[in-house]
Amino acid sequence: MPENECIRKIFVGAEVVPNEGVHFRVYAPKRNGVSVVIGENFEKVNKENGKTYKLESEGSGYFSGLIKDAAAGNLYKYLFEDNSLYPDPASFFQPYGPHGPSEIIDLNNFDWSDSDWKGISGKKKQIIYELHVGTFSQEGIWQSAKTNLEHLRDLGISIIEVMPVAEFAGKFGWGYDGVNLFAPYHYYGRPEDFKDFINSAHLMNIGVILDVVYNHLGPDGNYMEQFTEDFFTEKYKTDWGKAINFDGENSDFVRNFIVQNALYWSEEFHIDGLRFDATQDIFDNSGKHILSDVVQTVKEKSSKGKYFVAENEPQNSKFVLPPEDKGFGIDSMWNDDFHHSCIVALTGRNEAYYSDYLGKPQEFISMYKYGFLYQGQYYKWQKKRRGTPSFYMESSALVNFIQNHDQIANSGRGLRIDKVASLGSYKAITALMILSPGTPMLFQGEEYASASPFFYFADHKEELSELIYNGRTEFMSQFRSIATPEMIAWLPVPNDIQTFIQCKLNIEDKNNNKAIFDLHKDLIKIKKDDPVINLQQNDLIDGAVLNESAFVIRYFGNNNDDRILLVNLGIDLHLNPAPEPLLSPVTDKGWQILWSSEDIKYGGSGTAPLETENNWIIPGHAAVLLQPASLLNSNLKLLP
């Protein structure tokens, strides 16, 4: 085989060829010639001290070559005809950050032991856990994160959603400014450490999906334009940087780059799926949307079950519709409506993007039955219509949450919702979220009411940090309660390392808040194991408003094996009379308590019978799940 040809796993990058060396391939149509400079350490990766090898042009913008003297562990950069040196845009590892040399990684350097893992099976009975590696433990590395997997297994988590790990500039950050899409962030550990984390999760029957950013590249360390002018486009605008060119001139390379990136995580890291960030800023008017291409390709090439999630602020249901219905075939998408209604109900504030929510019973009933609240109605905050119909979507396709990385940080003080809401209502809303027909998602530490805040943090150079701070302050000023001079002055500085350190989870919180952990664990078990709740079918659910703060949800099961969930976010409700059919017992049966947020186990005061001789008495700031029981054994004393 000619030295510039090779059977490759990934179409670009530096791949180890057993017993032959390393094959380099780079797309650089902007350049007339490309060489690779290889050194054994950082100081030698330059034209004077490194070994330089000229790559051959393939005649289509690609340059390639098999270098017999190269080996895994060597560092390299690409050298252009103007003597400029740049790291590989398709680097598999950047041990010194995005500005430093790339490292040659042997893709076969890890011994997997997860062959029995079948992947993520189906959309139902899934419990997602959003995790940021840098703050999930005090150490902020893969190896320490791995030690907490047993905790997640015991909780009942089925899918870990890891916030972005593509290499980015600085010593800390959320990860949404990645610039080397194939290189795991070096401060979290080496690529094999990431693989070990995933392998260990699979051995505990937990899937791992990766949050990826396919709408822009970060502002620092992004050298893609030194290789090609076709990766970005001025045709569209995003909120963070230049839009990626998926449908313009010479976009074939770009599309292939992104599809291959998704395949890389799936095949080389055994990732079980992806979460697509801010899909409203992924612009593609070609015949086939890039996300549809990614999902279809990954699923077709894998024998394991894969699971994809979309974030889409406009709530466009086409993302989760099947391809035959002109959808993208993504398995689920975040339901911001659910979060917003919950926050208004818990805090009483409906400012800024909460303006179109009241947190009232009818909102929760509608979301249980129909999915999104906004399916095309006028949305006064945005001064336009918002959303598309979700009537016919599978209920499990909507991911419901009351906390995530964005929303905690957007609260200003970065406080978890349990720190600003009443304990009783917080527990009731938690039950409403987990027992919904949608797919519940927790944010790290939520399961034990972590005391650690979660702020926006990003370690950029001074000039860029100032721009980010000003932009963040302007964004937060949309909230009237935050736009006060004293609160604006209080907001944490994103590039201050203390802002980052404060966000790290503290293991003592887990040990001290067993009641909240048990509440989440028990609700998750019901969600997965109860034969009626785990149907997750909104056409088998109905609801009714009982007063301005209380409502009932009824899950219809087989053979009259129904469940009713009573939620009261106000004071005790004495419902007499009770002319609501959804409260009626099934034939020859009354109701008994299956679960209550006021259980002593969860730090509550106990739950008295709800059905009494004086009709229904529904406790305030609580949620109670009832199941059928024999009338002779029910809490209701039979009347003559």
The answer to whether position 299 is within a domain reads no
CA 497 to chain centre: 24
Q: Is 4 left (phi over 0), alpha (psi -120 to 50) or beta?
A: alpha
Q: Do 95 and 191 touch, CB atoms closer than 8 A?
A: no
Q: Do 226 and 175 touch, CB atoms closer than 8 A?
A: no
Which of 358, 382, 400 corresponds to the end of one domain? Answer: 400
pLDDT of residue 640: 29
Q: Do 401 and 339 touch, CB atoms closer than 8 A?
A: yes
The answer to whether position 36 is within a domain reads yes
Report pLDDT digits (tens) over 425-448: 999 999 999 999 999 999 999 999
Task: Supply the DSSP symbol for 314.
Answer: T
Q: Which one has a higher pLDDT value, 73 or 507?
A: 73
CATH number for the domain spanning 579: value is 2.60.40.1180
pLDDT of residue 588: 76
The answer to whether position 295 is within a domain reads no
Which of 400, 421, 448 corresponds to the end of one domain? Answer: 400
Q: Which one has a higher pLDDT value, 638 or 188?
A: 188
Residues 6 or more apart whose CB falls under 8 angstroms from that of 259 comprise 290, 293, 294, 297
Q: Would you please indicate which residues are annotated as catalytic (active-site) residues?
A: 277, 311
Q: Do 425 and 392 touch, CB atoms closer than 8 A?
A: no
CATH number for the domain spanning 86: value is 2.60.40.10
% of the chain exceeding 70 in pLDDT = 98
pLDDT of residue 45: 80
User: How many domains is the chain built from?
Assistant: 3
pLDDT of residue 43: 76
Q: How confident is the model at residue 630 (pLDDT cuts 50, 70, 90)?
A: low
Report pLDDT digits (tens) over 16-67: 999 999 999 999 999 999 999 999 887 778 878 899 999 999 999 999 999 9
Which of 103, 127, 152 corresponds to the end of one domain? Answer: 103
With 90 as the cut, is the pLDDT of residue 268 above it?
yes
With 70 as the cut, is the pLDDT of residue 3 above it?
no
For 293, what's the count of Cα atoms within 13 Å in the CB-facing half-sphere?
20
Whole-number average pLDDT of the chain: 95
pLDDT of residue 4: 55
pLDDT of residue 449: 97
The answer to whether position 81 is within a domain reads yes
Residue 623: domain span: 535-633
The answer to whether position 373 is within a domain reads yes
The answer to whether position 236 is within a domain reads no
With 90 as the cut, is the pLDDT of residue 90 above it?
yes
The predicted model scores a pTM of 0.96
How is residue 393 written in tokens? 């979507």
The answer to whether position 619 is within a domain reads yes
**How do beta strands 232-237 and 242-244 pair?**
antiparallel
The answer to whether position 389 is within a domain reads yes
